[in-house]
Amino acid sequence: MATVANAFGIENALEKLGVNEINKGTSTGSNWFSEGDMISSYSPVDGKLIGKVTTTSREDYDRVIDTAQAAYKDWRKVPAPQRGEIVRQFGNKLRELKEPLGQLVSYEMGKSLQEGYGEVQEMIDICDFAVGLSRQLNGQTIPSERPGHVMREQWHPIGIVGIISAFNFPVAVWAWNTALAWICGDVCVWKGSEKAPLCTVACQNIIAAILKENNLPEGISCIINGDYKVGEMMTTDTRIPLVSATGSTRMGRIVGATVAERFGKSLLELGGNNAIIITPTAELKVVVPGAVFGAVGTAGQRCTSTRRLIIHESVYNKVRDAIVGAYGQIVIGNPLDETKHMGPLIDKDAVNAYLAAIEKAKAEGGNVLVEGGVLEGEGFESGCYVKPAIVEAENHFEIVQHETFAPILYLMKYSGDVENAIDMQNGVAQGLSSAIMTNEMKEAEKFLSYAGSDCGIANVNIGTSGAEIGGAFGGEKETGGGRESGSDSWKVYMRRQTNTINYSDELPLAQGIKFDL
């Protein structure tokens, strides 16, 4: 392990989480088995090897599904509030392990330590939400048109939930799905990102111990490891009625089509191309931190990262200068050091995509305000550290129309009424997160109206990045249409059933149809 990593307690964190140098890649609770190829996890922080995980073979995968199916038959019979008690224990254990798990997230993925802790806090928050929800999985009573009849609607567990998560939130997105799925009576099979496999192992270790302590089937929570080929086992498997997939739009098209072909359900959380509209009445003390954190937080590797600033021409120069000035204060370096604002990109492929996007923006006529580039020298040996860039651009540029998972911020002007800015905001294929900075009520209401932002998330006087657990998280268009986390997102993890009960002595038919015998 690298000396710099040791200085921040990584070895101690790995020990507390039960993560070893070599980790078996398939788990159904306490049983580990796999003799597949090895995935080596290198930290983008210092380029050092953290550990290895074996991939899941076809034989292993089928064994996992068999174990999950057997567990489901028992788990679905457990009353929902008792299932909530298990999730409560899981949340409490996360509280105990927040520091080491947050450190691992930071070191394996590259986000700042505070963001690593914040990601674990999201896991804790969704557990709290799910515990309360376990007593509120309510159906409804519906008036019947027939005398002596009553109609009811109720919700039942759906079965095995397959979860495919991305590297940028290597633990939280799994928890968003699995905490709700568990209280709904489902069991979960999780394929974490092959770019952060040790985070997956750590989380499985935590829940496996809780299941064992409560004498519950180990198959309630399972993991599999590998690349897209392992994911294909899940998406083509008719034994998995729901696949929740987080990742790129390209990946989502494949997953959505494959699952739909077998009449399964998919929950897709895909790309974003998020904009903040800045109006003449916007306050700089709100605009600057919202835009800067949105653009450089997690090194621009959030699906909700701010990609575009759409600024009214009357305040454009003032806002531009303030944002450029703020970029001069950003400190880049080891994300485990809390004095650093931004860590590395996940790997060198991401670095190459970042560099290519900047060159493409220049070729299309963009004006670079803050130069990007790869950082070198002491502390940057991994080759994954880059400088956040700002480019003046037009919304119609091809590169602007696509999401680049990196800290590149495009600035553009709008003139006239706020409707023109809203048209620009909506003028991309993605529809995840959006925001407006304004002190004008009419502008805010127009932005939030049916003719306003077409995104699943629309904020006023806060940025695009980040979301609270209580609200449904997700977006429209090429973002996939899925919803996770709060509100009534739990319904996707269950199947709806309508019941009609006749408590009369006769059998009247619906719509007044007569059928006399």
Which residues are the active-site residues?
269, 303
The CA distance from 384 to 351, in Å, is: 6
Instruction: Kindly list the distances between the CA atom of residue 455 and the CA atoms of 290, 334, 425, 475, 484, in Å, as whole numbers in the listed order.
Output: 18, 34, 9, 6, 15
SS3 assignment, position 179: helix
**In this structure, is the dihedral angle defined by the CA atoms of residues 290, 165, 71 and 31, taken in order, positive or negative?**
negative
Residue 216 token pair: 């519950």
Give percent helix, percent strand, percent coil of the chain, each to the nearest 5: 40, 20, 40
DSSP 329: T
The CA distance from 102 to 198, in Å, is: 12
DSSP 48: -
Residue 260 token pair: 């739909």
- Distance from first CA to last CA of the chain, Å, rounded? 83
Q: How far is CA 119 from the centre of its chain?
A: 10
The CA distance from 504 to 481, in Å, is: 43
β-pairing, 242-246 vs 221-224, is unpaired
For 311, list phi and psi in degrees, rounded to 5. -115, 135
* Interaxial angle between packed helices 98-109 and 197-213, expressed in degrees from 0 to 180 and rounded to the nearest 10: 160
Q: What HEC string does 352-366 produce? A: HHHHHHHHHHHHCCC
Residue 423 token pair: 């048209």
Q: How far is CA 333 from the centre of its chain?
A: 24
